[in-house]
Amino acid sequence: LDLGTNNCRLLIARVSSDGFRVIDSFSRIIRLGEGISTTGRISDAAISRAVGALSVCGDKIRAKGAKRLRTIATEACRAADNADAFLDLIERETGIKLEVVDRETESSLAVIGCSPLLDPASRGAILFDIGGGSTELVRIARDPADRNATPEIKAWMSIPLGVVTVA
């Protein structure tokens, strides 16, 4: 589960013989970061939208019996003065305990998510992950002789500007 500054996304998958099989998913624009750049706080309206979306996610997680979870929150929860109170409310209302990831972890997760898209013959790539509240830029290197090698992050940077904060 990824609670971003703009979207709430959930993907539930099961291991299959050739990787993973998606068994449920959810995506909703919630604009969690709306107004944070001016007020420093997650607004009541954004909190209400997040509770609604995360309640759906919690129901899906329980209905599918998902056990191995990674539930993350990104820039809005890194930046907001009321993030701790928001996270406590989310856990009480939905049963979901969110992990606020730092920018380096967010960059690493973007690389993991995009690595299957890399050309197996390439020596590397530049990844741009433009989110709602931050943008990550990552230089990835890989050994084209070893098609199963995990891409290596050679350099990364993150700035607290995304589609919501710029808007």
- pLDDT tens-digit series, residues 118-149: 888 888 999 999 988 889 999 999 887 887 77
pLDDT greater than 90 at residue 161? no
Residue 148 pLDDT: 74
Mean pLDDT for 58-77 is: 96
Residue 64 pLDDT: 96
Residue 43 pLDDT: 96
pLDDT tier for residue 56 given thresholds of 50, 70 and 90: very high
Mean pLDDT for 72-95 is: 96
Beta bridge partners of residue 9, listed in sequence order: 2, 27
Separation of alpha carbons 82 and 103, rounded Å:
19
Residue 45 pLDDT: 97
Residue 88 pLDDT: 98
Neighbours of 1 (CB within 10 A): 23
> Pick from 105, 164, 102, 101: which is nearest to 130 by CA?
164
Neighbours of 162 (CB within 10 A): 23
pLDDT tier for residue 108 given thresholds of 50, 70 and 90: very high
pLDDT tier for residue 49 given thresholds of 50, 70 and 90: very high
